[in-house]
Structure 1
C-alpha cells in the first residue's frame, strides 16, 4: 500500500488496481473505509473502466467483432497498474494498453487515477487519454465502500443517506441471475432527500438511479450527524450498494451503466457510453469529504 497524509487525513491506496483502501482521521484515528472482509466482499473501492457493471454474456460487439470483458472492466484487481507520480499531496496511478489488452478492448489508451488530499477532502480524478488513431468508446466510474457503522456503539440502522435535493426517483432493477438491468423499476425516493439504510434494502442488488437532480450525497449517523459526503458533478448515474450482510455502503458515481437485458451488445450504442476522439483526453472528478467534526 502507498500512503499519503496531511494534517487532517491519511489515505492508503493498493497498487493493484490503484484501489483506495483507507481513509483515516489523523487526530482521532477513525477509519472510514470498509475493511474488505473476504467473507462478505473482498474489495474497498474498485476503479471501473472501460465498462461499469456486467455486460451481456461478458461480451460486446465493436465493428462486427465480439470481445470479452469482465464485470467492471480491466483496472480492478490489475497488477499492471503502476504508480505514475507522487507529490506532497497526491498519488497518480497509470494503466496503459498492451498487446494483451487489445485482444479484449481494441483501443490504445492510457488510464490515470489520481488521489489528491486537500484538507479534509479527497479528490479522485479519472483521466483517459486516447492514444489511438480512431475514436474510442468507454465508461468510467467509482465504487468506494464506506464503513457503516463507523463507531462501536452504533448499528447499521442508525445510518441514512441525505441527498443534496429532494428527489422522486425509482431504482432500475437488476436481474440477479445475470447482473443485467431489467425493464422493471421500483419506487425508492418519494419527494424526500433521505434514504434510510437497512440491510434488506440491497436484497435485490444495487439501487441504480438515472435521473437524480442531486450531485452530492451525505452519509449521516442519527447519533453523530454527518460523517462524510460524496460530490459527483461529472457523473450522471449513481449506484448505492452493499452486500446485505455487509456493514458498509457503496456510493458509486458512474459515467455509464451495466447492459440492459434487451441490449444488442453494440458497444457504440451502449447506454451511457462515452466517445473520445483520437489524440484527445477526458477527465472526470468526484470528491469524498470527511466531515470537519470527525477529523
Structure 2
C-alpha cells in the first residue's frame, strides 16, 4: 500500500489496481471510504480504462478484428502498474502497453493516474499518452465508494446526494440479464437537486446520468451536514451505484458508458469513446473534498 498524509487527511492507495482505499481524518480518525467488505463488494475505488462497464458479448471490433476485455477494462485488479513518482503530496502511477495487452487492446499507450493531496481535498488526474502511429480509442472513469453512513448514530436513509444545480434528468436503465444499456429510461431528478439515498434505489443496478448540468455533487447527512463532495468538470457522464445491501455509495465520473444492447460493437463508434491522435496526450481530473467540519 502507498500513502500520503498532511495535517488534515491521510490517504492510501492499493498496490494492485492502484485504488484509493483510505481517506481518514488525521485528528479524529474518522473514515470516509468503504471498507471493501468482500461479502458485499470487495473493491474500494476501481480505475476504469479503456472501457466503462461491460462490452456486448464481452468483446469489441477494431480493424475487422475481435478483441475481448473484462468489465471496466484492465487497470482494475492489475498488479503490473508501477509507482512512477512520489512527492510529499502526490503519487503518480503508470502502466505502459506490453505484448500481452496488445492481444486484447491493440494500441500502444501509456496510462498514468496521480493522486494529489491538497489540504482537505484529493485530486485524481488521469493521463493517456498515445505513443502509437494510429489514433487511440478509449473511455475512462472513476468508481470511488464512500462510507454511508459515516457516523455510528445514523442510518443509510439519513443521507442524500445534493447536486449543485436543480436538475431534470432521467437515468438510463440497464438490462439486468446482460448488464447492457437498454433503451428504457426512468425520470429520477424532477426539478430538484436532491437524491435521497435508500438501499432499494439500486435494485435495478446503477443510476446512469448523461445530461446533468451539475459538475459537483455532495454527500449530505440529515444530522451531520455535508460530508464530502465530488467535483468532475472533465467528465460528462455520472454513475451512482451501490450493492443494495451495501453501506456505501459510489459517485462515479465517467467518460463513456457500458455498451448498449443495440451496439454493433465497432470500438471507434462506441458511445462516449474518445479518439486521441498519434503522439497526443489526454488529461481528465476529478476531486474529492472532505468538509472541514468532520476533520476537527
Query: What's the TM-score, normalizing by structure 2?
Result: 0.99
Per-residue deviation, 1:266:
0.2
| Partner SS for 2:17 | helix
The aligned counterpart of 1:4 is 4
Q: For structure 2, which runs of at least 5 residues remain unmatched after alignment? A: none
The aligned counterpart of 1:284 is 284
Per-residue deviation, 1:15:
1.3
The aligned counterpart of 1:263 is 263
Per-residue deviation, 1:91:
0.4
Q: How far apart, in 2, do the equivalents of 1:30 and 1:36 lie?
A: 16
Q: For structure 1, which runs of at least 5 residues remain unmatched after alignment? A: none
| Partner SS for 1:226 | strand
Per-residue deviation, 1:181:
0.3
Structure 1 segments (4+ residues) deviating >4 Å: none
**Pairing of 1:167-186 with structure 2 (within 5 A):** 167-186=167-186
| Partner SS for 1:28 | coil
Q: How far apart, in 2, do the equivalents of 1:25 and 1:189 lie?
A: 32
| Partner SS for 2:47 | coil
| Partner SS for 1:72 | coil
Per-residue deviation, 1:155:
0.3
The aligned counterpart of 2:191 is 191
Query: What's the TM-score, normalizing by structure 1?
Result: 1.00
Per-residue deviation, 1:99:
0.2
The aligned counterpart of 1:13 is 13
**Pairing of 1:110-149 with structure 2 (within 5 A):** 110-149=110-149
Per-residue deviation, 1:178:
1.1
Q: How far apart, in 2, do the equivalents of 1:261 and 1:14 lie?
A: 34
Per-residue deviation, 1:292:
1.0
Q: How far apart, in 1, do the equivalents of 2:278 and 2:177 lie?
A: 37
Q: How far apart, in 1, do the equivalents of 2:21 and 2:11 lie?
A: 7
Per-residue deviation, 1:248:
0.1
Q: How far apart, in 1, do the equivalents of 2:206 and 2:36 lie?
A: 18
Residue by residue over 1:218-248, the C-alpha shift from the partner in whole angstroms, topping out at 9 and shown as x without a partner, is: 0000000000000000000000000000000
Per-residue deviation, 1:177:
1.2
